[in-house]
A = this chain, B = another copy of it.
């Protein structure tokens, strides 16, 4: 018998909530993520109930809920049809024409771009930027949560310090020194609400609207760009080639250069040592600062790592931004800036404007997680797992797709970039890849200009080694047709 739904539904075990809730949640997710295509009809309640071995009434209730939420459209006597409300399958910049524009600030009055990340992965995919949840030490995390909440219960409530609690700042200083050889003391660390808040605070502190020229990588990470655009920066995209950001092309007017030297987002290129030194020299000569975004540099696979820019900086010009979204999980919303001493006080004042301080309990949990060695252990374990996936990816690319895609060398991170060998065939290839290897990122989606060299990046945070092989083989078959 053919399955009635184009994906597996998981019926709950005892104690995991009702059947209705479980079905509702899964169908809703499938509709929002586009796994159930808009316009397609769902099986009749009788057929679905029989196939799943559950009461027809349960299916009817779930359909009614979905209709009430606008996920399904019901037509009298006919099978319900999926509404066109899925989130996009690929990230994109959407142009928004604001309502009530006359009341908005000048910056937001014009149509503005809003980055829409792709839908959260449905099962395994090549989606970038999301780590594996299955091997996370959830039990340890729960234990630390219970401990932090017991400590909360023992003391009067208080407002935590704006720059972060001392325990966490100390733990982060120790962590970056150990994993990335970044030299800093606890005092240099400001805890932020993810890397995004770090970008935003630095942008607001340094950008004079309409005046300050800021270099971003082309292609580059759109949310960083949005933070600087939102602060009123004049953005200048500078090309990335096989050695990373083309430092020779930086405009002399650049006051801030944003760069992902360990693992360029989204191509995966490493900034060469020569370019690093040239970039630091540029900053010195032009009185500029550098924002170093090191989002997944903890995951090193052999090779000798190139030092963080921050470590080479002798002049207090580098803001080093890190995040726990990749080494732990994105919903945690914790990141940090290692700031030059001269900027620390202003940065803290901007953070105080922005949201006073970060939440106390999560800070305590994270501090304990680092201090007790769980983070180092977790990174070590995940590095081995990701290394295996990376090998599978490199193997698959070499054996199945070497005629079409050329891997971009990189020894680090949670994804691997490739160049498309034949730019003329890129459009068709990308379209097929989106189907055969869902979640894959086209470099053009991250570029401001149309002339970005075509490429694809494959994440391996949420896909097993075995699955990587079979999906790449599938892409090969699709391309061979």
Contacts and interface: CB of A to CB of B under 8 A. Distances in A.
Contacts of A155: 133
Contact of A208 (B106, B230, B329, B348): B106
A192 B331 CA distance: 14
Interface string A67-108: 000000000000000000000000000001011101111111
A37 to B, nearest CB: 21
Interface string A308-324: 00000000100000000
Interface string A214-254: 00000000010011001110000000000000000000000
A331 B150 contact: no
Contact of A149 (B107, B108, B145, B197): B145
Contacts of A204: 105, 230
B131 A340 contact: no
Nearest to A98: B346
Contacts of A112: 346, 349
Contacts of A207: 105
Interface residues of A, number: 90
19 contacts: A96-B345, A98-B346, A99-B341, A100-B343, A105-B207, A106-B208, A108-B350, A121-B158, A131-B157, A133-B155, A133-B157, A142-B150, A192-B355, A196-B352, A209-B209, A209-B232, A333-B359, A355-B355, A359-B362
Given A142-B146, A333-B357, 18 more contacts: A96-B349, A99-B345, A100-B343, A105-B212, A112-B346, A114-B345, A133-B153, A142-B150, A157-B330, A193-B355, A194-B355, A230-B350, A230-B353, A331-B360, A332-B359, A332-B360, A354-B354, A355-B355
Interface of A: 96, 98-100, 102-108, 112, 114-115, 117, 120-121, 123, 129-133, 136, 138, 141-142, 145-146, 149-150, 152-153, 155-160, 192-194, 196-197, 200, 204-209, 211-212, 223, 226-227, 230-232, 255, 287, 289, 316, 329-334, 340-343, 345-346, 348-350, 352-362, 462
